[in-house]
Amino acid sequence: MNKMKLPIILICCIFFLPISGFSQGFSQIFAQRKTTVHVTPADATINVILPGGKDLKPLGIGTAVVEVPKGETVTILVQKNGYADLKKSYNSSSGEKLPKEDFITMKDRTVNLKVWPTDAKIIANGIELEAGSTLVLVKSGERVNVEVKKPGFVSIKKSYSNQSDGDQPPVSEEIKLKDRSIQIVTTPSSANIIVDNQLVGSGNYDVMIPSDKCVVVKVVKDGYVELEQTYCNKENSAELPAKETFNLQDRVVMVRATPEDVSIKINGRYVAKGEYNVKIPKGECVVATMEREGSVSVRRNYCNQDNAPALPVIDHVDLTPDETFSLSYQSDSLNVNNIIDISPNISESEAWKLMSQIVMNVFDVIDIADKATGYLRTAWVVKSFPNNTVRTRIIVKVADSSKLKYVVKLCSESSGKSGSGANDDSGYTEWHRVLFPYKNVISNIQARLK
């Protein structure tokens, strides 16, 4: 065909096409296949996602031209630190026209959060996120409350706002749990918890130990021996527990005796006058004795054992006047061995006879009398008073037969209560006084046998 005739034929064909067909064909031929993208913020990076969806190809920063082959879809990824990645797809399929320019604004924010210890939990608006390091998404117009927590540490809370009227969230943040926390649990549950001399609660309380500090924890309850522990949150300090149970087991009884000059003895050892905290370890018993010249001594047996009677928190002890005080005298020769040297002019047989006579003049009943061994012991003589019972006896034995000597012991004991039996040994203790009828028995023996 003649080359000059081809354009004329083409023009004729176009002229005779229906108007609708002409419009559609023209649109297909001249469809826009590229668009210029403008991003806010202006320093955001614009990338195209390559086929396969894994690799990226940078297109520009802030502004980029996106070319879309006919009939295909191209997806871009807009990125900037502190913002959530933003994806957008462009399609140039038949009949679709791409915009010449597209304006995109990144609105959702992110916080790159790093946490220590790395196993601490990160909770954002009630949802647990990945531990250690994670991105916290803060959508436009919203607020996210973050809590970082781990047993044994004081939790840290943060709030990130992506609202127009507030501060914008940081791009990244490190949160370190430094202050420690110990859950203190007490038994009994009514025991008080005192931290650095301040009452903070009872039964159960979370005690905070600030970084590089120490705190002193005491657990107290009336009637119990208090427990105390120091916790330090310092470098090279011992590892702190997340939970500590204070079990109050040892008991204490406040003994308050009147008059104020009453002597208090614990298990026979003097400890104080008038007032004393008697400590009773778990599973044990303690004997407290209250004594005063001219008053009836009082004994208390405090037991911290299962099934034992309940212990008082305070025990008021009033000593009553002792009627025996005016009927007795104090002597250093009581309840001790007194050596009696026998005169060389007195035979052993005569000495034994004189000894026996002197004793029987005072004591009616001889419990044991053995001349062969030189041993004599009287029965207890018991005298009961309204507030006391006193028992007395004498024991004689040969100390040296080669050069005759006797050992004489005048025993005087009291029970501190009326009507005690003669043989109730556990109810009596040594008494530093002796009743007047027995006042001169030792001196008489010494005088007549020397």
Tokens for 419, please give them: 């009507």
Question: Kind and range of the H or E element at 388?
Answer: strand 388-400
Q: What angle do CA 191, 192, 197 make, to 5 degrees?
A: 150
How far is 295 from 414, CA to CA, in rounded Å?
12
Considering only the top CATH level, what class is 109-176? mainly beta
Query: CA–CA separation, 175 vs 189, rounded Å?
Result: 35
pLDDT tens figures, 350-384: 999 999 999 999 999 999 999 888 999 999 999 99
CATH number for the domain running over 31-105 = 2.60.40
Number of other residues whose CB lies within 10 A of the CB of residue 211: 13
Average pLDDT value for residue range 413-435: 91
Which amino acid appears at position 59 of this protein? L
pLDDT given for residue 417 in this prediction: 86
The class level of CATH for 327-449 reads alpha beta
175-204 pLDDT per residue, tens:
999 999 999 999 999 999 999 999 999 999
Calpha distance 14→267 (Å, rounded): 127
Of 111-115, 205-209, 327-331, the range with the lowest mean pLDDT is 327-331
pLDDT of res. 4: 46
- Whether residue 434 contacts residue 378, with contact meaning beta carbons closer than 8 Å, is answered with no
The two three-digit tokens of residue 441, written as one number: 């028995």
Torsion of CA 376, 379, 380, 381, to 10 degrees: -110
Q: Which homologous superfamily is 251-321 in? A: Carboxypeptidase-like, regulatory domain (2.60.40.1120)
Q: Helix 348-362 to helix 441-449 angle, to the nearest 10 degrees? A: 160
What's this model's pTM, rounded to 2 decimal places? Answer: 0.65
Residue 349, helix vs strand vs coil: helix
Q: Determine the pLDDT at residue 296.
A: 84
* pLDDT at 22 > cutoff 50: no
The pLDDT tens digits of the residues spanning 156-165 come to: 999 999 998 8
For 90-139, how does the pLDDT look when each residue is reduced to its tens digit (9 = 90+)? 988 766 678 899 999 999 999 999 999 999 999 999 999 999 999 999 99
Question: How many residues would you count in the chain?
Answer: 450
The whole-chain average pLDDT of the chain stands at 90
Domain boundaries, the chain: 31-105, 109-176, 184-247, 251-321, 327-449
Element (H, E) at 148: strand 143-149
Biggest CA-to-CA distance, the chain: 183
Strands 101-105 and 86-91: unpaired
pLDDT at 50: 92
CA quadruple 342, 346, 349, 353: dihedral positive or negative? Answer: negative
What is the β-pairing status of strands 214-220 and 192-195?
antiparallel
pLDDT confidence band for 174 (50 / 70 / 90): very high
Average pLDDT over residues 145-161: 95
Give the pLDDT mean for 143-156: 95
Report pLDDT digits (tens) over 253-275.
999 999 999 999 999 999 999 99
The strand pairing partners of 115, in sequence order, are 175
Identical fold, 109-176 and 251-321? yes
User: Is the pLDDT score of 32 beyond 60?
Assistant: no
- Res 31 pLDDT > 70: no
- H or E element that contains 58: strand 56-61
Lowest mean pLDDT among 91-100, 270-279, 295-304, 419-428: 91-100
